[in-house]
Structure 1
């Protein structure tokens, strides 16, 4: 039996290099990770964010003598252990961790020399002693044992001192740039910690240092000071199933981990079934490896069983369990699953059946489209579905019927085909005859959307209450729109999102579209606080 390794943390550097399949798409992502601009690598679980970080790190280390770009890899997994009374403790701990890992990398690569004057600043000591920063990190991470303990941060550099020290190091050691690879950047943080992290991410910017962070869609809180569009290059890691080389690349990913020659033979013998599972994975290597392991025999019976157990049961159950982790998002999670299972997928299946059985239409489809002016609660639910890997944003700003503009999504192909009586009998026909123009469309005022509207405020935490009391002048609205809201005595974010759209339309010159836009801005501003 072949046991696949599905998590990057379990792989050695040699295995990562051996398993990496270099397609044009993957290498283009890696090149952006090497470039000077900070990057947010966004993707659902299992798409390969950590893996590409490691590949990039390995390439930079191998090419260090030529490029002089130093990669520093770190995680903040121990964030929950920091429990001190020190003001701004979390920021201090993160900065100490970065200093510690940078020093560790310099030692491992043999880059440190006696002339490197910046070392003393980073370590809190003279260049000959390199222990105080590591000790400070340990103190923070052991503080859960004695909550409230005050930690002496005298030797920790300020952010400005840190940036100056990095510049000194780079100039003295002939380093062009230091690149920080921060994996699972926000996944292990509390919402307030996420806000602090992205503030630091934004401030850690100079010609001599840049940050790359791997984040999940839908559950990442950026805060008010960090703007993903302006403060970083955002890369959505989604492999295109319509790429001519898609199947070949996915097959190569699997074959590089196959140690059982009989499995390789079965994959070759049952090529059609492998192709079906590759498409079902929708570009997610972890999904593919898991499904190949489950369908070890690779015959039609075992492959159909994968669709029933993995794509029809496990994937949905994993999505529903997110309510335990994000209780403030429970209604979004439940509504998103219900909308997908009872509206989107049945409608897509009807279109596909009608084409395959009766020849009606121009092809099959696994796409749907949602109007830009749909309630913001709907968009939040879709972001959680993206986190779970049940849907993928395919393209924004797409025109549909009557030239309306919206976003096109792709349903996880495995979840769609799981509704077929026999996926191995009809699956490839659906995939190969798909026409993107056959997407199902959901306008701004669908009746099913009303079920999710107004669910933003459930149990109000103290932090949420404080946020709801904030003035609407803080929102991303025009001065004219804010003025119109003040005219009808809507002054706070709480008042705005609690008011029905009909009340917003009592303001002069505010009709349907503007009312929805204004309300959505208020909901967008408060949604991230639900994660707390």
Structure 2
């Protein structure tokens, strides 16, 4: 185990008990703005790359509103749809009925936890699927909880029909919510959807956003966290009218950026790591700027950097941003062969064109002793659809982050600006740390490399893909479940523990009880529960994309 305690880092909010959320939450001004928006009546959709902290903001909103419920009477409902990738029943309406079952069950349990569902009512019966509230209070699963679980287990028996007759219509569900609010003095429910829909299943996404819109009322506000570049809102949902869409991007030029990143790690650091950070602050800051505002990547790279010595930090930057982050991007093609051409093009475009061009400009400014550096590119809005789709996919894992749209380039052409991940930009440097220091001091978004509509690389991908860019050609779920646990985003220590007890595939890890994890060295009843949660979250994340 690591001497500095990084083996126990919590890198996903899903691995954290909700009650502990506020203990490790380290906000900046933008984070607090988003939490405030989530608390309001207007629906909000937060777009952010993997690991940027979307789930954390939803949980912070939930925990704060729970504390204020006695006075505000707004009951937060956090519900994660991260198990949607396991749905494999033959029902055409499985996704809609699963969403309604899971949402209704979560609301019922939240009302019950507030001590407001002691007696059965017609409205509560809608949320339970007819199960008596008294029976449910004694620990028994409601009918709708059973339905949701049956859908989630359907990947094991995909030909078996799930009896979902108890699932209410949207109209009955909304009426029940109105009655519950009136009966129990609840002003409104504030629903916080996490992992809103399978990222490469456009039809699932469209069903979700249709439900999102249809649920809206004076008694219920819906909010959601989604990924940029891979979210399909559908023709019915209109972003400007049905919700306020906000970006979660941390600007490395912000005055409090370095402090926030440092505090995020210090909240989980033991005394050894705290001492290393204090003694080698510049090296730590290099890692913090390399992640371009992504807390998960920061925790992972700090764990890899050991004592934070110069040689260790530079080796981590070179390996992580030249190999590991691109392996994650390329693995999407393995899971979703229908998108392979776009995914492969995105990597080649970045590595062969974007990164060399950006480096060349920064090198020239350095040689000319100009205090200017940039990690920004501009892409014409008239670029081929396939090229823009490939670029949007790069925002999913954070290789690029969209700064804005509608920005004027050369000859007053309109396009979007994207920030290149700093680690990716400097990974090929002999000494990345001083180059990152230059970017910190001299970076500007006003200077950028332009890629116009007729760029030769864009023409190339358009010729390969054409306009067929919404293919939903995922690899069969059984094939993914048979993959080795090396595919999961786990620490080396966690992988070794799984292998030591024979949990060699994703399927075995998902099905294993906590007692199986306890067979590994140094893992007792308390750690086995956390280990089970971590492995399950990593597996579901892999299956979802």
Partner residue of 2:190?
179
Residues 209 and 357 (structure 1), Cα distance of their counterparts in 2 relative to 1, 3 Å cut: same
The within-5 A match list for 1:121-136 is 121-125=126-130, 127-130=133-136, 131-136=142-147
- CA distance change for structure 1 residues 71 and 370 in 2, over 3 Å: closer, same or farther? same
* SS, match of residue 83 in structure 2: helix
Structure-2 separation of matches of 1:426 and 1:146: 54
Distance in 2 of aligned mates of 1:416 and 1:34: 37
Q: Is structure 2 residue 344 aligned with structure 1 residue 339?
A: no
Post-superposition offset of 1:326 = 2.2
Q: Deviations over 1:456-514 (max 9, x none)?
A: 359999989xxxxxxxxxxxxxxxxxxxxxxxxxxxxxxxxxxxxxxxxxxxxxxxxxx
Closer/same/farther in 2, CA of residues 438 and 110 from structure 1, 3 Å limit = same
2 CA distance for matches of 1:101 and 1:265? 43
* Counterpart among 372, 376, 386 of residue 377 in structure 1: 386
CA distance in 2, matches of 1:28, 1:79: 30
| Distance in structure 2 (CA, Å) of the matches to 1:136 and 1:392 | 39
8 Å CA contact retained: 1:77, 1:188: no
Partners of 1:155 and 1:275 lie apart in 2 by 54
| CA distance in structure 1 between the aligned counterparts of 2:264 and 2:298, rounded to whole angstroms | 9
**More relative contact order, 1 or 2 (CA 8 Å, 6+ apart):** 2
* Alignment: residue pair count: 464
1:285 and 2:265 equivalent?
A: no
Provide the C-alpha distance between the structure 2 equivalents of 1:346 and 1:461, rounded to a whole number of angstroms.
30
Within the alignment, does 1:256 sit opposite 2:267 as a pair?
yes
| Residue 168 of structure 1, aligned match among 176, 179, 183 | 179
The whole-number CA distance in structure 2 between the counterparts of 1:422 and 1:189 is: 38
**Structure 1 residue 244: Cα displacement:** 0.6
User: Which residue matches 1:69?
Assistant: 74
Assess if the C-alpha contact under 8 Å between 1:363 and 1:435 holds in 2: yes
Superposed displacement of residue 275, structure 1? 1.6
Which structure has the bigger radius of gyration?
1
Kindly state the Cα deviation for residue 38 of structure 1 after the two structures are TM-superposed: 2.0
2:526 corresponds to which residue? none
Aligned pairs (5 A) from 1:10-409 = 10-114=15-119, 117-125=122-130, 127-130=133-136, 131-144=142-155, 146-187=157-198, 190-259=201-270, 261-359=271-369, 363-409=372-418
Deviation of 1:278 after TM superposition, in Å, equals: 1.1
Deviates more, 1:341-350 or 1:153-162: 153-162
Where structure 1 has 5 or more consecutive residues not aligned to the other structure, the ranges are 465-530
The 3 A distance-change label for structure 1 pair 336 and 118 is: same
Q: State the match for 2:422 in structure 1.
A: 413
Give yes or no for contact 1:117–1:127 (8 Å, CA) kept in 2.
no
Give, in angstroms, the shift of residue 279 of structure 1: 0.9
Per mean C-alpha deviation after superposition, the further-off stretch among 173-182 and 237-246 is 173-182
* 1:386 Cα offset (Å): 0.2
1:30-74: per-residue Cα shift (whole Å, max 9, x none)? 111111122222111111111111111111111111211111122
Separation in structure 2 between the aligned mates of residue 281 and residue 408 of structure 1, nearest angstrom:
18
Q: Secondary structure at the match of 1:393?
A: strand
- Scaled by the length of structure 2, what TM-score is found? 0.80
Residues 289-326 of structure 1: CA deviation (Å, up to 9, x unaligned): 11111112112111110111111111112111111122
Q: For the residues of structure 2 that align with 1:80 and 1:308, how far apart are their CA atoms?
A: 33
Give the conservation status (yes or no) of the 8 Å contact 1:116–1:173. Answer: no
In the alignment, the residues of structure 2 paired with residue 26 and residue 281 of structure 1 have an alpha-carbon distance, to the nearest angstrom, of 17
Q: Distance in 1 between matches of 2:161 and 2:320?
A: 49
Equivalent position of 2:528 in the other structure: none
Q: Is the contact between residue 347 and residue 440 of structure 1 (CA under 8 Å) also seen in structure 2?
A: yes
Aligned CA RMSD, in angstroms, stands at 2.5
User: CA distance change for structure 1 residues 257 and 142 in 2, over 3 Å: closer, same or farther?
Assistant: closer
For residues 440 and 462 of structure 1, the distance between their equivalents in structure 2, rounded to whole angstroms, comes to: 30
Q: Give the TM-score taking structure 1 as reference length.
A: 0.82
SS at match of 1:438: coil
Q: Within 1, Cα distance between the matches of 2:83 and 2:151?
A: 9
Gap runs ≥5 in structure 2: 137-141, 474-543
Residues 1:453 and 1:314: Cα distance change in structure 2 (over 3 Å): same
Q: Deviation per CA, 1:426-457: give whole Å up to 9, x if none.
A: 32013311222221112221122211113335
- Between the aligned partners of 1:375 and 1:391, the Cα distance in structure 2 is 18
